[in-house]
């Protein structure tokens, strides 16, 4: 597969991570490069590792991955989004959504990279080389996520609404969109 095609796949796979990065940027106070890098690296690394994992799984589990990946992403994003909304409505300042929390970030990175697992399985079926593709997918996701964190932070500093509710709704919408695209397609 040529690098142009891999780049388009990388951009397509990065859209979910960008939406979540944008939402995460809404909640970061006093943004620093290290905070934005943490989020972008998590998404970029998972988007690079998942195709490698999917490629190694190959034909054996491809059909299962294709059928269940959208449900897994939907469930994870809905749980995390619902938790954000619930915690905001409880108005407990100490328990507010923190996208920099390692467990939260891990859940978000997994949820947004499941499609990359399926892409990796597809690439193995086609007999394509995976290392260059995985590196390019990860790099594209990293760059776009880094930009999205800053855009979300900038928008969040201009907006005075309850951002956790907005972020939770975005995550639930994203998970629902993933599931509906699968069910309708």
Per-residue model confidence as pLDDT tens for the chain (185 residues): 677 888 888 888 888 888 889 888 888 888 899 999 999 999 999 999 999 998 888 756 666 766 777 787 788 778 777 876 776 777 655 456 788 989 999 999 998 888 888 788 777 766 667 899 999 999 999 999 999 999 988 877 666 556 667 767 877 887 788 788 878 86
Contact between residue 150 and residue 24 where contact means Cβ atoms under 8 Å apart:
no
Instruction: Encode burial over 50-84: b for 16+ CB neighbours within 10 A, e otherwise.
Output: bbbbbbebeeeebeebeeebbebbbebbbebbebb
CA of residue 72 relative to chain centroid, distance: 12
Other C-beta atoms lying within 10 Å of the C-beta of residue 105: 20
Residues 6+ apart with CB under 8 A from 165: 84, 85, 88, 89
Other C-beta atoms lying within 10 Å of the C-beta of residue 175: 26
Token pair belonging to 70: 């959208």
Rounded Cα gap, residues 124 and 128, in angstroms: 6
CB-neighbour burial class of residue 177 (10 A; exposed 0-12, middle 13-18, buried 19+): middle
pLDDT at 28: 84
pTM of the model: 0.75
Domain that includes residue 29, residue range: 3-184
3-state secondary structure of 99: coil
pLDDT at 93: 55
Domain count for the chain, please give it: 1
pLDDT at 124: 74
Instruction: Encode burial over 129-152: b for 16+ CB neighbours within 10 A, e otherwise.
Output: ebeebbbbbbbbbbebbbbbbbeb
Rounded Cα gap, residues 82 and 39, in angstroms: 20
């Amino acid at each position: 597969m040529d690098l142009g095609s891999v780049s388009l796949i990388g951009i397509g796979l990065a859209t979910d991570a960008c939406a979540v990065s944008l939402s995460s940027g809404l909640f970061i106070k006093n943004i620093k490069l290290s905070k934005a890098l943490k989020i972008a690296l998590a998404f970029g690394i998972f988007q690079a590792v998942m195709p490698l994992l999917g490629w190694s799984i190959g034909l054996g589990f491809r059909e299962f991955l294709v059928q269940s990946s959208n449900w897994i992403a939907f469930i994870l994003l809905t749980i995390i989004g619902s938790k954000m909304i619930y915690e905001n409505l409880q108005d407990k300042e100490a328990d507010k959504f923190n996208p920099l929390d390692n467990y939260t970030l891990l859940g978000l990175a997994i949820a947004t990279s499941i499609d990359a697992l399926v892409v990796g399985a597809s690439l193995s079926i086609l007999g394509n080389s995976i290392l260059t593709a995985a590196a390019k997918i990860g790099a594209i996701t990293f760059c776009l996520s880094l930009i999205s964190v800053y855009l979300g932070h900038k928008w969040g500093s201009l907006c005075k609404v309850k951002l956790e509710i907005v972020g939770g709704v975005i995550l639930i919408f994203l998970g629902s969109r993933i599931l509906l695209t699968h069910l309708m397609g």
